Amino acid sequence: MSQFAQATNFTIHNSTFNTQQLENPKSGFEYLQEYVAHGAFHDSGERFDPPKCHPTTRVAIIKAIINWISGLDEDTRDALIMWLYGAAGAGKSAIAQTIAEILDGQHFILASFFFGRNDPQRGTAKLLVTTLVYQLAVKLPHMFRERVNFVFENDPLIITRSLEAQFKALVREPLLELFHSGYSTDNHLVIIIDGLDECKDASIQARIVDLSFSLLRSRDIPLKILIASRPEIEITSSLDPKPSSMLARIALDDDYQSDHDIRHFLSDTFDDIKNQHPLRAYIPESWPPDDALDILVKRSSGQFIYASTAVKYVASPRYRPTHRLEIVLGIRPPKAGDSPFAELDALYQHILMGAGDVNLILILKIIGFVLLRPPRNDGEISVASVESFFSLDAGDVQLLMQSVGSLISLDERHVFAGPFGELSHYMPCVRILHASLKDFLFDHSRSKDLFLDPPKLHTLYTELCIAHLTTGSTIGIGGFDRLQEYVPHGAFHGLGERFDPPKYHSDTGVAIIRKTTD
């Protein structure tokens, strides 16, 4: 019996009373919100104002993607995944953003994740699944959210599981339960994953591709996934063996009249500058001249990033647009510290430095060789010629260029041969995708440690030519007459002093040394 039983009129001195108020525990959905990358949404305030397609540009590409999503294109109707790919700066994110806004406006059930390497939340895939699930949960019937709640309440550490486990527990199974309950929709659900190549872990990039196919392989969920990325090796290697019946591809290449779209974008933007710039009263009506547009379109090489970077620089309200365009065109020198193409330079730096120190030196030598090689009747240089010239094994160029695939492509091209171009065949050729890459690499103020010095490169290539000729190999060179085309006449002076004469005892070698020392 308690010692306080039936006690009355008593006082307790020097006492401490503790009270505890129990709060309602968080729901699984509330817990989910703590693991969402808000900046990855297509309409995120963190990304405002995101790049999007200029009006009346990229019309054919946008139509092709919308028709695929809507099932209106017989050629792509059965594909549940579409890969939109292209070189760095080709405008993939702008297209993905435009598609997202169109679908959102048409009330499609949409979830998106826009990767961004410089954002701690968007630079990895740690929050990919939870971010997609959150967006689906706020748009789908409550049953989907209840299932997500159930998963979190039974396994609060689901967010620490593998991507595969998260996809299964938080995406596939809740969607299956929802549609098996009788829920239906007139349109496919859509997931957009943009900038997959900007996910820092390359192995994760490939896993995301594999997971996308695993999610849809059974075709029991009305869901389509749009993936936009550069054609990086991990992504292409993962996509290549996938069944063509499930995959549609759109390459941002010459088939979609990029030059026409870029010219239209430039023309409209310059009109905006003439109408809105604080110094518009001092801009001639005829500005810019047509030849300036021609130059900008040519330098863009079908990639929107050059054009957008140029007009952004020209449009600055703090400076005269006419002067800034002259700087972009190289007519007027920039002031100290002024960098018209800082954004583009940073992109080139990032891609090239990603090749690694060992491979980078040889990659730059090959790029310099392609850029400085004299034009021939076909304008192309085969991969085989490059490998022979640099004494590489077959396949080495492909391995080297994998890490810079968004700047350099190895395409099957029609190559002409013979003295009059009478022979032709298709073979892999090295192609520079950005005409402005040459300007970057040959300008020390822009490229810094990546700078290529043309005179030094000419000397290097001449030495390699001589080495080939003296061993009886002329593949890719064509004899001394071709050798002269590789090197400016001034570079021949004193070149013979660089070589040990005994190495060049053949008649061909002696003739070369005599010519180079004249």
Query: Does residue 398 sit in the same domain as residue 495?
Result: no
Percent of the chain with pLDDT over 90: 70
CA–CA distance, 433 with 299 (Å, rounded to integer):
10
DSSP label at 183? Answer: -
Which pLDDT score, from 0 to 100, does residue 215 have? 94
288 cis-preceded (ω within 30 degrees of 0): yes
Instruction: State pLDDT tens for residues 303-314.
Output: 999 999 999 999
Query: Does residue 35 sit in the same domain as residue 142?
Result: yes
Reduced to 3 states, what is the DSSP secondary structure of residue 424?
strand
Query: Strand pairing partners for 429?
Result: 382, 411
What CATH number is attached to the domain comprising 246? 3.40.50.300
Q: Which residues of 243-262 are buried (b: 16+ CB within 10 A; e: fewer)?
A: eeeebbebebeeebbbeebb
Q: Which domain holds residue 507?
A: 454-518
Q: What is the CA radius of gyration of the chain?
A: 30
Residue 17 lies in a domain: no
DSSP readout, 69-135? HHT--TTTTT-SEEEEE-STTSSHHHHHHHHHHHHHHTT--EEEEE--TTSTTTSSSTTHHHHHHHH
Residue 330 lies in a domain: yes
Name the domain boundary from 276, 308, 340.
340
State the residue for tokens 């995301």: 208
What CATH number is attached to the domain comprising 442? 1.10.10
Query: Does residue 409 sit in the same domain as residue 513?
Result: no
Residue 22 has a CB neighbour count (10 Å cut-off) of 5
Query: Does residue 176 sit in the same domain as residue 248?
Result: yes
Two tokens at 233?
Answer: 């090796």
Residue 18 lies in a domain: no
Q: Confirm if 452 and 369 have CB atoms less than 8 A apart.
A: no
What's the pTM? Answer: 0.84
State the residue for tokens 């789908």: 140
Measuring CA to CA, which residue among 102, 81, 274, 109 is closest to residue 196? 81
Which pLDDT score, from 0 to 100, does residue 411 have? 83
Measuring CA to CA, which residue among 107, 184, 108 is closest to residue 141? 184
CA–CA distance, 239 with 131 (Å, rounded to integer):
24
Query: Does residue 421 sit in the same domain as residue 476?
Result: no
Query: Does residue 424 sit in the same domain as residue 470?
Result: no
Query: Does residue 435 sit in the same domain as residue 287?
Result: no
Residue 8 lies in a domain: no
Residue 379 lies in a domain: yes
294 cis-preceded (ω within 30 degrees of 0): no
Which pLDDT score, from 0 to 100, does residue 74 have? 94
Query: Does residue 475 sit in the same domain as residue 441?
Result: no
Name the domain boundary from 398, 422, 452.
452
357 backbone dihedrals φ, ψ, rounded to 5°: -60, -40
Two tokens at 410?
Answer: 């190895």
Query: Does residue 130 sit in the same domain as residue 171?
Result: yes
Residue 467 lies in a domain: yes
CA angle 234, 236, 241 (to 5 degrees): 110
CA–CA distance, 263 with 247 (Å, rounded to integer):
32
Measuring CA to CA, which residue among 270, 271, 216 is closest to residue 247? 216
Which residues have CB under 8 Å from 116's CB, separation 6+? 39, 122, 123, 195, 198
Query: Does residue 324 sit in the same domain as residue 411?
Result: no
Residue 152 lies in a domain: yes
Q: Left if phi > 0, otherwise alpha if psi is -120 to 50, otherwise beta: which for 14?
A: left
CA–CA distance, 93 with 486 (Å, rounded to integer):
40
CA–CA distance, 124 with 159 (Å, rounded to integer):
14
Name the domain boundary from 404, 421, 452.
452
DSSP label at 408? Answer: E
Residue 59 has a CB neighbour count (10 Å cut-off) of 13
Residues of the chain with pLDDT under 70: 1-24, 254-255, 374-379, 414-425, 472-518
Which pLDDT score, from 0 to 100, does residue 337 have? 85
Residue 167 has a CB neighbour count (10 Å cut-off) of 22
Which pLDDT score, from 0 to 100, does residue 508 have? 34
Reduced to 3 states, what is the DSSP secondary structure of residue 249?
strand
How many domains does the chain contain in total?
Answer: 4
Residue 210 lies in a domain: yes
Q: Confirm if 227 and 193 have CB atoms less than 8 A apart.
A: yes
CA–CA distance, 58 with 54 (Å, rounded to integer):
8
Query: Does residue 85 sit in the same domain as residue 167?
Result: yes
Query: Does residue 60 sit in the same domain as residue 138?
Result: yes
